[in-house]
Chains A and B, each alone.
Chain A
Amino acid sequence: MAARVIVVTSGKGGVGKTTTVANLGTGLALRQKKVVMIDTDIGLRNLDLLMGMENRICFDLINVAENECRSFRQALIKDKRVENLFLLPASQIKNKDALTAEQMVRIVDELKEEFDYILIDSPAGIESGFENAVAPATEAIVVTNPEVPAVRDADRIIGLLQAKKIYEPLLVLNRLRSDMVKKRDMLDVDDINDILAIKLLGVVPEDEQIIIATNKGEPVVFNQQSKAGEAFRNIVRRLEGEAVPFMSFNTEPGVFGRFWKMLHGR
């Protein structure tokens, strides 16, 4: 078994990287895949909170990197709800430079043999934390929001990933609001596709269930009623190679519709 190693990154902060990792990790494990999620956001760890695992951390990524525990197994936290789902938490202490890219590559090499998927949650930015997160990855998911700054940073990140030979990063467009798209006050899926021109893995709507999920420490992908949960379940299936149709958010008229409106004075 050699794991798929996927880094989830964005450039801009707060767009939904950690939310994406928690839900894809959980969703993949729900499909009987063996998954480990690595939080590389040193000093600002969050993934443990989204997973509801914060009280069970003994060792962290830095401890593993510095060989301060017997093996990575001691640091892995096992999920209590789903079989085969593990978290390697970030360190909350020390400075960000405590970790090196070489250490990340070594750790992931060891994990690779025992898992189907290794999902790496990258910190925001394009500095060493980003470099460390990307170093061991062979695939990447770029998360963005339908807003000018987030799309700009996504474009930059795509360039940096390609420079690191990850030529075909996949896009997750998060926090889309169909009401705003309808009023033409938000970039839609076509606009983003046009501008970034990379393969779309999924579109996740703005959904208050995500906040409720974070309150509980239980990823929204468990929630059968949630639209965002459904979006993440679809993304998981696409990652697994299924051709799943995209949920329709694009409620605005296409080119034809616009001409029609013009002809009829709307």
Chain B
Amino acid sequence: MKLFRDDPSSKSQAVERLRLILVHDRAKVSTGLLELLRNEIINAISKYVEIDEDQMEIELNSSEAKAELVANIPVLKVRRALDN
């Protein structure tokens, strides 16, 4: 990764910029992507913890260098681990 960041060529700048642009373009275009993700995440973690769905937040943030999916999920209870 370091190798890449140190590469000052205009081509590697183009690659980096395109990666970020397309993360946002694709997220924006596919209507309900975040809604879909939200539901899938709830499904996946509800097996282990009880969460406050109304307070849950999920968003796509980006800075100059990266895009990140940020989820804030308030936990109400942890389900009792099954024996073994």
Contacts and interface: CB of A to CB of B under 8 A. Distances in A.
A151 interface: yes
A186 interface: yes
B22 A155 contact: yes
B12 to A, nearest CB: 7
A119 B7 CA distance: 41
Interface in B1-20: 3, 7, 9-12, 14-15, 17-19
Given A152-B18, A152-B21, A191 B11 contact: yes
Interface residues of A, number: 19
A14 interface: no
Interface in A166-192: 181, 183-188, 191
Given A152-B22, A184-B10, A258-B3, A159 B15 contact: no
Contact of B11 (A155, A156, A187, A195): A187
Q: Is the interface of B mostly helix, strand, loop or mixed?
A: helix
B15 A187 contact: yes
A231 B34 CA distance: 42
A185 B18 CA distance: 15
A148 B15 CA distance: 8
Contacts, number: 44
A155 to B, nearest CB: 5
Nearest to B29: A159
A242 B22 CA distance: 32
A152 B30 CA distance: 15
Contacts of B11: 181, 184-188, 191
A151 B10 CA distance: 15
B47 interface: no
B42 to A, nearest CB: 26
Q: How large is the interface on B (under 10, 10 to 19, 20 to 34, 35 or more residues)?
A: 10 to 19
B18 A151 contact: yes
A181 B11 CA distance: 8
A186 B15 CA distance: 10
Contacts of B26: 155, 159
B83 interface: no
B18 A148 contact: yes
Interface string A225-266: 000000000000000000000000000000000100010000
Contact of A195 (B3, B22, B29): B22
A54 to B, nearest CB: 37
B31 to A, nearest CB: 10
B74 to A, nearest CB: 34
Given A148-B18, A155-B25, A195-B22, 18 more contacts: A147-B14, A148-B14, A148-B17, A151-B18, A152-B21, A152-B22, A155-B22, A156-B29, A159-B29, A184-B11, A184-B12, A186-B11, A187-B18, A191-B11, A195-B15, A195-B19, A258-B3, A262-B3
Interface of B: 3, 7, 9-12, 14-15, 17-19, 21-22, 25-26, 29-30
19 contacts: A148-B18, A148-B21, A155-B22, A159-B29, A181-B11, A183-B9, A184-B7, A184-B9, A184-B12, A185-B10, A187-B14, A187-B18, A191-B11, A191-B14, A191-B15, A194-B15, A195-B18, A258-B3, A262-B3
The 8 A-B residue pairs whose C-beta atoms are closest, nearest first, are A184-B9, A184-B11, A185-B10, A148-B14, A191-B15, A187-B14, A155-B22, A195-B18
